[in-house]
């Protein structure tokens, strides 16, 4: 198995966040920060591993890139909300 650049960067990001939580926890004595970081990354991994969900996200991102989706400010104007 070869790590992609994206996976390597995400791994580095996880390690930085985890080390930061460990450092903060050691200073404050509040070790729950570490659990929060781990839970957040578990949720991220769950989302990233759901192929159907990620396909939907990529589809919507493509719609944004192609200008097929309008922004909130445009919606408000069309509905005379602001």
**Which of left, alpha, beta for 60 (phi over 0: left; psi -120 to 50: alpha)?**
alpha
pLDDT tens sequence across 56-82: 988 988 888 888 888 888 888 888 886
Provide CB contacts within 8 A for 82, sequence distance 6+.
Answer: 73, 76
pTM of the entire structure? Answer: 0.60
pLDDT tens sequence across 20-69: 999 999 999 999 999 999 999 888 888 888 889 989 988 988 888 888 88
Helix then strand then coil, in percent of the chain rounded to 5, is 80, 0, 20
């Amino acid at each position: 198995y070869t790590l992609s650049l994206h996976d390597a960067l995400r791994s580095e990001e996880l390690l930085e966040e985890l080390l930061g939580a460990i450092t903060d926890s050691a200073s404050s004595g509040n070790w729950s920060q570490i659990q929060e970081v781990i839970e957040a990354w578990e949720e991220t991994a769950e989302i990233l591993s759901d192929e159907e969900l990620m396909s939907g996200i990529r589809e919507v991102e493509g719609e944004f890139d192609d200008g097929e989706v309008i922004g909130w400010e445009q919606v408000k104007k069309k509905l005379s909300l602001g």
